[in-house]
Structure 1
């Protein structure tokens, strides 16, 4: 299976999910991430503001902020790279042409990930070796180059797969969290 075919199949399954199933998944994923020792010790965590079809990040971000953990979220730039902003739940949000919500705030710079203790990344699927299938634009693979913090992808249970197509430039994750629990890549 090619990456593009896998993306089409996975996106179709996401669109078919009931809103209540998505909400329950977001709550369960948040509990698993918040229980991880590496997150409990964190001072700053990078996360993303989820799109409607993705595992929701609102419960997770809320939990991180309630614990006094700073959360930084991405801003997409015209050159297909990411900048970062400290998340403020009261900040106004704008939606990009790609459908991604982005908050207003002072830009922290492209290297803000180097100051994070954990980086939560979006994925359409993750395999048992930690290969992450994204949407194909490469924003995260470019942003994650050289990041030493543990990388954690959030996926629905059926998106944790035995194997995925991948390329040498794809940056693997060390953890994947589903509604069923946290999977560590050996």
Structure 2
């Protein structure tokens, strides 16, 4: 299966999930992330703000803030790169034309991930080797190219697959957080 077909199939399956299933999944993912030692010890975490169709990151972000963990979130730039902003839970969010919630605030620069203890990224699927299937624009592959901190993708349990289509430039992850638990790449 090629990436285009895999994305279409995975997005179709996501659209079939109910609101209560999504809420339950987001809460379970948060509990698993917050119990993971690398996250529990973190001082700064990069984490995306989820779109409605994605596994929810709201409970995890709230948990990070409650523990005093600094959270930085991505801001998409016109050149298909990501900048980063410190998340103020009280700051208003705007939704981009791509449907991505973004806060306002001082930009930290594209190199902000260097100061993170863990980087939490979206994915449509992750395979048992850590290959991550994204939406195809390459924002995260570019942003993660120089990251040395552990990278954790967030997926629904059925999106952890034996294999996903990938290319040499695709950046792999070391973990996948699902409602069923944390999968660590061997």
TM-score range for the pair, normalised by the shorter chain length: over 0.9
Tell me, in whole angstroms, the C-alpha distance in 2 between the residues paired with 1:91 and 1:177: 27
Number of the residue aligned with 2:72 = 72
The number of aligned residues is: 186
Q: Aligned partners of 1:22 and 1:172: how far apart in 2?
A: 25
Name the stretch that deviates more: 89-98 or 24-33: 89-98
Q: Deviations over 1:70-118 (max 9, x none)?
A: 0000000000000000001111111111110100111000000000000
Is 1:151 aligned with 2:131? no
The RMSD of aligned alpha carbons is 0.4
Unaligned runs of 5+ in 2: none
Using structure 2 for the length normalisation, give the TM-score. 0.99
Indicate yes or no: 2:176 matched with 1:176: yes
1:27 and 2:27 matched = yes
CA distance in structure 1 between the aligned counterparts of 2:99 and 2:177, rounded to whole angstroms:
23
Question: What is the match of residue 61 of structure 2?
Answer: 61
For residue 49 of structure 1, what is the aligned residue in structure 2?
49
Q: Deviations over 1:34-75 (max 9, x none)?
A: 000000110000000000000000000000000000000000
Give secondary structure in 2 for the equivalent of 1:75. strand
Return the offset for 1:146. 1.0
Alignment match, 1:137: 137
- Normalised TM-score (structure 1): 0.99
Aligned to 1:173, the other structure's residue is in SS state: coil
Give the Cα–Cα distance (whole angstroms) in 2 for the partners of residues 90 and 177 of structure 1.
26
2:89 corresponds to:
89
Structure 1 unpaired stretches of 5+: none
Stretches of 4+ moved more than 3 A in 1? none
